[in-house]
Structure 1
Amino acid sequence: MKVLVPVKRVIDYNVKVRVKADGSGVDLANVKMSMNPFDEIAVEEAIRLKEAGKASDVIVVSIGVKQAQETLRTALAMGADRAILVVAADDVHTDIEPLAVAKILAAIVKEEDPGLVICGKQAIDNDLNATGQMLAALTGFAQATNANTLAVEDGAAVVAREVDGGLQTIKVTLPAIVTTDLRLNEPRYASLPNIMKAKKKPLDEKTAADYGVDVSPRLDIVSTAEPAARTAGIKVESVDELVSKLKDAGVV
């Protein structure tokens, strides 16, 4: 069984994001970029399935700018078998919207015929949490979102998914789309020998036009702004005063 894993190049989660002075977006100059953390978890889970003998081939896909090659090489160094880069933008500030990404992935799914697609539940740069669900709709595959655990057995995937009330366990028939949550696993670090081997693993380069997908944006960003500064707290003289203020704020 093939496992397909889409990965996205985003600002590293340790970097403090700076908004441009004109409010047109975030400043990416000299900013460290890395693999989206949720996607890293998806890659790790796919590799574990291969190590357990449940998968034969792990394919990673990235859709965006040429620089995403670095992100794909990281996934290959972790243990993925091959990679596909779909160049859909020239400007690093251009974010391909989920519907266009899902359409390209649907075309790749048709070509590769994977038994399982594992996606990060969302990208930390836009937090849209939409690509996996859109891909399931376009392919007609079963879907299980926010996966906390994943087991593949007898042509089905058993997924414990995180919901507001705790965990919900569902069983979906393969082929399926699974989106990962943070507690699914802890991604491994790529060793130096594997980083060197990754340079020789196949990485195919395509364009959005190869799949007949228009990636023109449907949304216009009006402005980008920093979150409002947190206001200073106040000191209270007694427990009664604290309770009173909490009541006035509607907390209790």
Structure 2
Amino acid sequence: MRPKIAAGNWKMNGTAAALCELDALSRALPENPPQVVICPPSPLLFRATDAVHGCPIQIGAQDCHTEEAGAFTGDISATMIADTGATHVILGHSERRDTHCETDADVQAKARTAWTSGLTAIICIGESNAQREAGETLDIIGAQLDGSLPDDVTADNTVIAYEPIWAIGTGKVPSIAQITEVHDFIRSRLTTRFGTEIGNALPLLYGGSVKASNATEIFAVENVDGALVGGASLKADDFAPIVAALASA
């Protein structure tokens, strides 16, 4: 059985004062919670891992460099992330692909260095609104999967998050039929490339305007194993109901 995962991406939000939300979230978790991963900004990683010590919340970063060390001013390596006690790293988020011009090859290289440091890579894929309207969604998703995933992917080192770019932070949510189509396509693509055992074991998350009011319906989709949540993960009061919906799915 694939793990259920509720991941929160705080993006460039939060200072040390925001870490109180981790304690509030921990206290609000259901009795048998799914895997919960919070990804705060990198300056908070050390304090965040301290804040969740002893509770069932893991900490992740929002990006890493392709190299383990070097003359890369302002960047953060997977080794540094692991040193904080974090366990995951988001890679290939559409905001990185867009504003930082990251390619599928970049994402694949980052995944490899993340694994080397013992981190689980949460690899993001997704189409733009223009690509969706042009009927190119599955072609784009297929190409991103082919280019972003190394050949030695396993369920222990990788999570895949489908985030339609046009739904991120917009309040727009694909129909259940659209989510089902893409997640079923991803699952089929994975089993074809990696074999049935690995392909069926890789967790697939949905991301894009997930909130308490739509979480239950989204989590009922067969190949949705959880969510990568943005704004709604910043406050425990908003994120806890999403976690609870996943635990009940």
- TM-score over 0.5 for the pair: no
Higher strand share: 1
Higher helix share: 2
Q: Which has the larger radius of gyration?
A: 1
The TM-score normalised by the length of structure 2 is 0.30
